[in-house]
Amino acid sequence: MKKFQKIAFLLVFSVFTTGSLGLFAQTPLGYGAKNNAIAGSGVALSSEALWGNKNPGGLAFLGRKIGLGIDIQMPTVSYKVLNAPASFNQDYLQPWPLGLQEGQADASRKATILPNIGINLELNDNSSLAISIFSNGRRGHSFDTKTYYSPIIAEFPNTDEFTNPMGVVSSPTFFHLSQYFSAISYSYKINDKIGVGLSAVGAWQSLNVGGYEAFGSLGYSAYPQEISNNDMANAYGLGGQLGLQWNISKMFQLGLTYRSELFMSSFESYKGLIAENGQMNIPAEWSLGIALQASENLLIAIDAQRICYSQVAAWNLPMASHKEGYLGGDNGSGLGREDEMRFKMGLQYHIPKWDFKIGYAYIKPSIVSDEVLLNMLMPDIIQNHISLGVSRMLNDEVLHFALIKGLKSSMTGVNALDLTQEIELEAESWTLAFSVDF
């Protein structure tokens, strides 16, 4: 009975806390304190399989387990427009350049509360069924300014025949993309060394955008009315995940997992901003990892992960190479992102009732310098992450704590709609994570 009471509590907890998500500087390295303590590595470890459905192939070795975690992230994000916009007259050939106001702006700060829940139930000695609930939080930021606003165009006088297109631009400027996931996983132990798993992954995205009106009023959008300030739009989708864990020896383990692209419904009210008429699928990703039991007390985990942005038009299609810079519609510009590579390493040292952990992760950013304009409000540019953590074994529970520092990173690129301007993006973050297994 107590076990079922705990499960019920976790499900209710997830409903109430998911609504309080704040802002993320970047998609998480991992899910839950246990995984974050080793910088998101551990795809070859069954002990990490539960968190964020990391590797369904490892669940068959995990046994009955319930986990509850909370991650709190505190990002700091800013942008700086380095040069004055290009000057031109009102009779200049349209569409006019969108030169931005010179200067710096800092994003509104808000801490994140992000729940992660996992339940793994043994069906028999060789198989298990698991449920995971996790999230990437709210990707994107808000600036208390008119970011996409041209001071040059704003000076053009209104007449009976001309309404200044900057007159409709609102403040604040924000891009809020929230992503939530649930997975149901079946895992089967082929033998004592090899486990395989299959997951059905469901996703819910919400998008809310404001301050982007200039792209419509200047003629840069296929659907100028469906580009900004249309309240929250929702999209739903499905995909799958495969996982393998191979316990090669007592010292060495191998893990491999692949999650397919999650095919989402469209953001109809933002089809003038998002490519392919508002369809923003969640990219496929894969991870490969090894774990080495270097000594009785020391465990080493090393992972490589790839997020395949290049396969999704809304994420990949570049503005810089688009002749007219159009957004939305069938073939409009996207965020111009490349595939993102992540390399992670974690060390865990065990003494009776305690595990002490450190980790490091390097991310090769998906944003390229020619595409900073549309990525100003979602600057996924932090490259270096350092993690520390500790786990404490109690009678029936294990408590976990982790701290991750995303070191300050910057990127400078050109304004694709005014090549005389450069834009500098800057971001850093702190993450605190707490979780419990029982």
Q: How would you label 50-88 residue by residue, b for 16+ Cβ within 10 Å and e otherwise? A: bbbbbbbbbbbbbeebbbbbbbebbbebbbbbeeebbee
Task: Please tell me which residue, 138 or 196, carries the higher pLDDT value.
Answer: 196
| DSSP alpha helix (H) spans, 61-168 | 151-154
**Is the pLDDT at 26 greater than 70, yes or no?**
no
Residue 403 pLDDT > 90, yes or no?
A: yes
Question: What proportion of the chain, given as a percentage, has pLDDT over 90?
Answer: 81
How many whole angstroms from its chain centre is CA 317?
A: 18
Burial tier of 291 (Cβ tally within 10 Å: 0-12, 13-18, 19+):
buried
DSSP β-bridge partners for residue 427: 77, 409
Q: How confident is the model at residue 55 (pLDDT cuts 50, 70, 90)?
A: very high
First vs last C-alpha separation in the chain: 14
Indicate whether 15 pLDDT > 60: no
Q: What is the pLDDT at residue 23?
A: 47
Please compute Rg for the chain using Cα positions: 23
**Pair of tokens at residue 257:** 């997992």
Give residue-wise pLDDT tens across range 404-427: 999 999 999 999 999 999 999 999
As a whole number of angstroms, the distance between CA 226 and CA 365 comes to: 29
Fill in the DSSP letter of residue 94: S
Q: At residue 121, what is the residue type?
A: L
Extents of the domains making up the chain = 2-437
Position 347: which residue type? L
CA–CA distance, 243 with 259 (Å, rounded to integer)? 9
CATH of domain 2-437: 2.40.160.60
SS3 17: helix
Q: Residue 2 pLDDT more than 70?
A: no
Query: What pLDDT shows up at residue 313?
Result: 93
pLDDT category of residue 149 using cuts at 50, 70 and 90: very high
Helix/strand/coil percent split, the chain, to 5? 15, 45, 40
273 DSSP assignment: T
pTM: 0.92
427 contacts 25 by C-beta, under 8 angstroms: yes
Mean predicted confidence (pLDDT) in 92-97 = 89
Rounded to 10 degrees, the C-alpha dihedral 154/155/160/162 comes to: -50
pLDDT of the residue at 21: 43
3-state secondary structure (DSSP) of residue 10:
helix
Question: For the chain, what percent of residues have pLDDT higher than 70?
Answer: 93
> What does pLDDT average to over the chain?
91
For residue 9, how many other CB atoms are within 10 A of its CB?
12
The pLDDT assigned to 11 comes to: 44
Q: What is the DSSP string of 361-404?
A: EEEE-S--GGG-TTTTTS-----EEEEEEEEEE-SS-EEEEEEE
The phi, psi pair for 72, rounded to 5°, reads -125, 115
Distance between CA atoms of 421 and 102, rounded to whole angstroms? 9
Q: Tokens 């704040």 appear where? A: 22
Residues in a beta bridge with 252: 292
Mean pLDDT value of segment 352-381: 96
Using an 8 Å Cβ cutoff, are 327 and 221 in contact?
yes
Q: Does 367 have pLDDT greater than 70?
A: yes
Q: How far apart are CA 378 and CA 102, in angstroms?
A: 19
- pLDDT above 50: residue 32: yes
Q: What distance in Å separates the CA atoms of residue 375 and residue 337, rounded to the nearest whole number? A: 9
